[in-house]
């Protein structure tokens, strides 16, 4: 059975950015079974989620200098995985908090063609202000396209933006 798609070709419940949040018995939106929205991070809290997005031409390797190579690029894979992390974590952060990426390991193991739906699965563990992520990127036939680990940090939005506005901060 195929999930319905929106005008952008995205399956599931898609937002304006074209990223979906699949529903299921163990997932209540992007937070999943891990907790309620706005609960705030807790040490050892695990949050899981996934997003599915159709590979667009702008996501392809041609954008990064590989002319004619209409497959999901490594930079796009990384960016879309990071976007999934941000979306899955948002409901469990306190007001005024956001997360920023601080490290990543990524293996890009297989190709996805332009037009293919790709699913980004993230399994996040929150320890204090540190967020450790294990991720898998899966193609339309179930092939693992990529996998790795990602580290994020929970920061105060106002403080972070203030530091950006100050040269050499």
List, for residues 34-56, the tens digit of each pLDDT value.
Answer: 333 344 555 788 999 999 999 99
Do residues 93 and 160 make contact, with C-beta atoms less than 8 angstroms apart?
A: no
117 vs 43: which has the higher pLDDT: 117
Residue whose entry in the numeric block shows the structure tokens 């695990």 = 46
Do residues 10 and 57 make contact, with C-beta atoms less than 8 angstroms apart?
A: no
Confidence band of 3 (pLDDT split at 50, 70, 90): very low
Q: How far apart are the first and last CA of the chain?
A: 53
Is this model's pTM higher than 0.75 or not? no
In the DSSP assignment, the letter for residue 12 is S
Q: Where are the alpha helices (DSSP H) in 90-147?
A: none
Q: Check whether 32 has a pLDDT greater than 80.
A: no
Q: Which residues contact 62 (CB under 8 A, 6 or more apart)?
A: 68, 69, 70
For residue 152, give the nearest of 120, 113, 124 by alpha carbon.
124
| pLDDT at 156 (0 to 100) | 97
């Amino acid at each position: 059975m195929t999930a319905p798609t929106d005008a952008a070709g995205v399956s599931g419940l898609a937002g304006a950015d074209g990223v979906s949040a699949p529903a299921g018995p163990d997932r209540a939106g992007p937070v999943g079974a891990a907790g309620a929205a706005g609960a705030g991070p807790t040490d050892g809290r695990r949050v899981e989620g996934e997003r599915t997005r159709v590979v667009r031409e702008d996501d392809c390797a041609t954008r990064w200098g590989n002319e004619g190579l209409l497959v999901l690029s490594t930079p796009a894979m990384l960016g879309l995985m990071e976007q999934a992390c941000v979306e899955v974590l948002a409901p469990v952060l306190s007001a005024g908090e956001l997360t920023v990426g601080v490290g990543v390991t990524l293996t890009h193991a297989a190709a996805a063609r332009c037009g293919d739906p790709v699913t980004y699965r993230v399994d996040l563990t929150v320890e204090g202000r540190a967020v450790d992520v294990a991720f898998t990127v899966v193609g339309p036939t179930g092939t693992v396209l990529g996998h790795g680990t990602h580290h994020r940090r929970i920061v105060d939005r106002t403080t972070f933006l203030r530091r950006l506005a100050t040269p050499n901060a």
